[in-house]
DNA sequence: CTCATGTCAGATCAACTGAAATGG
DNA sequence: CCCATTTCAGTTTATCTGACATGA
């Protein structure tokens, strides 16, 4: 254990993230999906059909990556691109029935990941951890002019 | 806010990490350094001269990345590679006096980053957060055979 | 003219992989 | 022969940049 790093939030966070990210990747890959796909399906389910730009903003995904992910989700039949008659630049993205089923399937995968990741804490501690980290993650990111 | 993601530990962690990582990168870049460099200097200061392999294990850095970082630290005069007479495969890495000064300078940079990152929490909450995340980050990573 | 949108190629960065050379 | 160490080249993944064509 390196004493200079042991109590640094950024170090602990980076290690915890590495572990959570690894578990998440592993679980989604085993389920034949990806975290980006889940995030996109979740946004579509909650907010209904959206343009790609709006979808990206809600999901926190770069527009160019939205394009790539929708290519995959489209060919899997989970989302459909439709022309937007009101604005011909836009494409309306719609969740298909198969996409909704996929989302429910991935909900279970994600639930298992959370449980596995939080296992070292008891349930009161888990709630407290979520409360605190939510406040830390709500802050704006580093300066971006 | 996407309700399906809002309370997921992995999502919150990923956003908190993104912010912490951004702040950290920004601060170290402004100071003309990098997080890897700090970690290496910190390990050398605490454990004295080490082989690169041992240094990498202590700092949690891949051996090939240790090589690259030591090229930089060496040319800046902060660390020195020396032949190990006991095992001619090894190189003993020694912290120079300039490297020790650099470490102290970066201590201040890192301290400011922690303070800035944890600012949304009061001091009792900060301590609790560190305690909880330390337990989460101590767990082993995803399965690696 | 300006801005937004979707697309594409590629830059960047951290983390890692595989292989080679050297030596225990 | 097998394993450890250092180095190099290159892969992977997420994130982001810049450019472009289209159209509001």
What's the pLDDT tens digit per position in B7-39?
899 999 999 999 999 999 999 999 999 999 999
Burial of B8 per CB tally in 10 Å (0-12, 13-18, 19+): buried
Enter the tokens of residue B18: 């993104």
Dist. CA B93–CA B61, nearest whole Å? 15
Element (H, E) at B3: helix B3-6
Q: Is the separation of the CB atoms in A74 and A81 below 8 Å?
A: yes
Burial class (CB in 10 A: 0-12, 13-18, 19+), A59: buried
Instruction: Using an 8 Å CB-CB cutoff, list chain B residues near A143.
Output: 26
The whole-model pTM stands at 0.91
Rounded to whole angstroms, the Cα distance separating B132 from A143 reads 28
pLDDT in tens, B54-89: 999 999 999 999 999 999 999 999 999 999 999 999
Residue B136 has pLDDT above 50, yes or no: yes
Percent of chain A with pLDDT over 70: 95
The reply to whether B25 has its C-beta less than 7 Å from any atom of strand C is yes
What average pLDDT score do residues B41-49 get?
97
Please list, in sequence order, all residues whose beta carbon lies within 8 angstroms of the beta carbon of residue A104, skipping any fewer than 6 positions away.
Answer: none
| Interchain CB contact of B71 with A (< 8 Å) | no
Strand C contacts (CB < 7 A) among B residues 30-89?
34-36, 61-62, 64-65, 87-89
Instruction: Determine, for residues B17 and A17 on separate chains, whether the beta-carbon distance falls below 8 Å.
Output: yes
Specify the residue for token string 């160019």.
Answer: A64
Average pLDDT of the segment spanning A121-143: 85
Note the pLDDT of residue A139: 67
CA distance A135 to chain B (A): 7
For residues A31-46, average pLDDT: 96
B100 by DSSP, 3-state: which?
A: helix
Does B143 score more than 70 pLDDT?
no
**pLDDT number for residue B140:** 61
Q: Which single residue is written with the structure tokens 């907010």?
A: A47
Q: What is the 3-state secondary structure (H, E, C) of B24-60?
A: HHHHHHHCCCCHHHHHHHHHHHHHCCEEHHHHHHHHC
CB-nearest partner of B19 from A107, A118, A139: A139
Decide if pLDDT at A141 tops 60.
no
**Which phi-psi region, left, alpha or beta, contains residue B32 (left: φ > 0; alpha: ψ -120 to 50)?**
left
Question: What is the average pLDDT value for chain A, to the nearest integer?
Answer: 93
Residue A92: pLDDT over 90: yes
pLDDT in tens, B83-135: 999 999 999 999 999 999 999 999 999 999 999 999 999 999 999 999 999 99
Cβ distance A77 to A22 under 8 Å?
no
**Residue B145: its pLDDT value, please?**
36
Which tokens is A19 given?
């572990």
* pLDDT of residue B142 exceeding 80: no
Does residue A145 carry a pLDDT above 60? no
The pLDDT value given to residue B84:
96
């Amino acid at each position: 254990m390196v004493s200079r790093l042991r109590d640094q939030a950024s170090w602990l966070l980076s290690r915890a993230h590495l572990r959570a990210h690894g578990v998440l990747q592993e679980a989604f890959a085993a389920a034949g999906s990806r975290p980006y796909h889940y995030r996109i399906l979740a946004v579509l389910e909650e907010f209904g059909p959206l343009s790609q730009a709006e979808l990206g903003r809600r999901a926190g995904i770069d527009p160019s990556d939205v394009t790539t992910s929708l290519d995959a989700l489209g060919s899997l039949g989970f989302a459909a691109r439709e022309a937007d008659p009101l604005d011909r630049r836009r494409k309306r993205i719609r969740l298909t029935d198969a996409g909704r089923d996929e989302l429910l399937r991935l909900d279970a995968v994600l639930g298992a990941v959370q449980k596995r990741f939080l296992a070292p804490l008891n349930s009161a501690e888990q709630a407290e951890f979520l409360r605190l980290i939510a406040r830390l993650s709500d802050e704006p990111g580093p300066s971006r002019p």
